[in-house]
Amino acid sequence: MTYENLNIQQEDGILILTISREKALNALNGRTMDELAYFFGEAAPQMDDLKGIIITGAGEKAFVAGADIKEFLALDAAAGAEMAQKGQDVFFLIERFPKPVIAAVNGFALGGGCELAMACHMRVAGEKARFGQPEVNLGIIPGYGGTQRLIQHIGKGKAMELLMTADMLNAEDAHRLGLANHVVPAGEEVAKAKEIIAKVAQKAPVAIAKIVECVNAYYDGLKDGFAYEVKEFGATTGTEDFKEGAAAFIERRPANFQGK
């Protein structure tokens, strides 16, 4: 696929994926969602030496300031449900990706942008970041997982308040409530995300992928998260990475994990 709205750069095994629709405040239109679906569903899984992915927005104003409302105007109930399902499917690809995916939130993360950030494994917020789900102002609700993931991150009561009032959270409040992992000076979001991915990259790749699966299993109504953890713990004990990690611990040396 030729990317029109995604700018992808690689630095030392880390991919920096920039949503590049700056004039539209990086709003998620259909084309952008198609490109995200292809990237996380087809392209990125084939990258063997990938350490992790950072998602950010072009410019200084917005991470992603929502979905492209112009595309909503012709929707009826069936088309609206189809759009929401597609959006959720794309964001599940991100949430379930086996390498760390970090949102470097450099400005407004509203509506679909907040949902995108919440689908990532972690969020680094710049001081100018603002998070919110303002859909009720338009007479609709979040459709890309916002009503579900916001509860996971900040709890039911506060999530209800933000979803109903459409109030925004600044970076410090997002951090205090658990929505943002870190707050950094404006412009340092990507650097902090790189630092985190570099630390994760020193760990066993198979174990990192299993962590993603097990944490997601907690929120999957079709899975017993504890039973899933037992199964995957057993799976990791049979890996070459475990043998190497145990040997390195006993020999008091850094482990050399191979992802096997």
Could you give the residue numbers annotated as active site?
Answer: 115, 135
3-state secondary structure of 85: helix
CB-CB contact of 219 with 227 (8 Å): no
d(CA 66, CA 112): 5
Residue whose entry in the numeric block shows the structure tokens 């174990």 = 207
Q: Which two tokens stand for residue 97?
A: 């990706």
d(CA 116, CA 33): 11
Reference 130, options 164, 105, 101; nearest CA is 105
CB-CB contact of 154 with 176 (8 Å): no
| Burial class of residue 110 (count of CB atoms within 10 Å of its CB; 0-12, 13-18, 19+) | buried
DSSP state letter for 40: I
Pairing state between β 52-57 and 14-19 = parallel
